[in-house]
Amino acid sequence: MTGYIDPERDQFEAFKNLPRDQPVLMLNFLRFRDKAAYPDGREATGAEAYAAYGRESGPIFRRVGGEIVWRAKPELMLIGPSDKQWDLVFVARYPTAGAFLEMVTDPDYQQAVKHRQAAVADSRLIRMSEADEGEGFGG
C-alpha cells in the first residue's frame, strides 16, 4: 500500500475554503522510510532526509510565524491498529491558515519539500482550530 505523503487536490481545496484569518494547529504524524526515495538516487535515510527538509524549510516556517508547540516520539499504539507505527508526532501552530498557505506556496519551500517527499513513507496532517481548555475530557 502507498502511504499518504502529499494532500490530494480536493483536500487542499477544502483547506483553502476554510477561514484563513484565524490561528491553526497542524497535527503531524510521520513514518520515515528506511532509505530516502530521492528521484536522483542520492543516499540518505528517511530521518536524514527529513532533517534536511527541516533545515531548508525552517527559515520559511519561522518567517510566516510558525512554531512547534509540541513534539513527541510515539512508543506504543494503545488504541488503534497495532501495525500502524509513527516515528514522530508534532503540532505546528501558525498565526493564521493564510500563513500556512504562504509557506507552502513559497518557491524556496517548494524546493525544500522534495526532502520531505523523499523522507516520508506515510503521514497524516490534520488541521485543527484552537478550543477552550474546559474541564476534564469533554471540554
**3-state secondary structure (DSSP) of residue 58:** helix
- The pLDDT value given to residue 22: 94
- CATH for the stretch 19-128: 3.30.70.100
Summarize pLDDT for 122-137 with one digit per residue, the tens: 999 999 998 877 777 6
pTM for this entry: 0.91
Summarize pLDDT for 4-51 with one digit per residue, the tens: 899 899 999 999 999 999 999 999 999 999 999 999 999 999 999 999
Q: Is the pLDDT of residue 1 over 70?
A: no
**Annotated domain spans of the chain:** 19-128
Residue type, 16: K
Q: What percent of the chain has pLDDT over 70?
A: 96
| C-alpha closest to that of 124 among 22, 17, 26 | 26
Contacts of 128 (CB under 8 A, 6+ apart): 24, 25, 26, 27
| C-alpha closest to that of 17 among 115, 130, 127 | 127
